[in-house]
């Protein structure tokens, strides 16, 4: 793809929201996101960027984000630069076609929309596994372990401290939901190794 084709594709996707910053550089700025499309100086490489969150907010989830780079993000990647977590797509212009370009833009928008929700869930699951493992090592009963998990949620140790009382209540209800309790019981009863109970 060449510069004029990129400009046309962006106009088809975003209409008048596309702004040309300089030759080979475009920006799509909306209330929901800011997307940058940049060509290298020799116009042989394309880079598409979307800001996802401040790097400080992403820090607790770095391990999960790197796992996503390997398993989930497909042709896009997470990257840190200038204290921002970005969704990034890079490709040679010579081998890029319109379908791949549109797919990459859609994938980046999906990463932005998704935020940290999946990462947060996996981080909490890992913490729960650590708590259950420690409880097993100490010979704690299943009921005592579940009470500990409930207390940690009530105190905000396994959830968002900024969550409203209603949101914390919903989280505690989810912990008490039989399907999840069964999952924790399965983890607690495992003797030699931890397996995902999906």
| pLDDT tens per residue across span 127-175 | 777 888 888 888 888 888 878 877 777 776 666 545 555 654 555 455 4
Tokens at 42, concatenated:
């020799």
Interval 4-53: pLDDT, tens: 899 899 999 999 999 999 989 999 999 999 999 999 989 899 999 999 98
| Domain chopping of the chain, boundaries | 3-115, 119-189
Report residue 176's pLDDT band, with 50, 70 and 90 as the boundaries: very low
Residue 138 is predicted with a pLDDT of 86
In angstroms, the Cα distances linking 53 to 69, 112, 113 are: 16, 8, 11
Percent of the chain having pLDDT more than 90?
35
Scored b (16 or more CB within 10 A) or e, 75-96 reads: ebbbeeeeebbbbbbbbebeeb
- Rounded CA separation 102/181 (Å): 42
Class of domain 3-115: alpha beta
- Report whether pLDDT(182) > 70: no
Average confidence (pLDDT) over 185-196: 39
């Amino acid at each position: 793809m060449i510069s004029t084709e990129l400009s046309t594709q962006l106009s088809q996707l975003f209409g008048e929201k596309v702004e040309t910053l300089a030759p080979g550089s475009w920006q799509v700025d909306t209330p929901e996101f800011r997307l940058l499309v940049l060509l290298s100086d020799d116009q042989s490489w394309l880079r598409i960027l979307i800001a996802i969150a401040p790097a400080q907010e992403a820090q607790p989830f770095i391990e999960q984000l790197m796992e996503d780079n390997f398993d989930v993000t497909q042709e896009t990647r997470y990257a840190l630069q200038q204290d921002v977590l970005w969704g990034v797509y890079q490709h040679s212009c010579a081998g890029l076609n319109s379908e791949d370009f549109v797919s990459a833009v859609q994938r980046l928008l999906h990463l932005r929309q998704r935020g940290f929700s999946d990462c947060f869930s996996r981080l909490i699951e890992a913490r729960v596994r650590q708590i259950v493992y420690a409880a097993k090592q100490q010979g704690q009963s299943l009921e005592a372990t579940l009470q500990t998990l409930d207390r940690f949620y009530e105190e905000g140790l396994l959830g968002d401290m900024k969550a409203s009382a209603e949101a914390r209540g919903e989280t505690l209800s989810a912990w008490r939901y039989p399907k999840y309790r069964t999952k924790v019981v399965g983890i607690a009863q495992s003797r030699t190794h931890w397996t995902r109970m999906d």
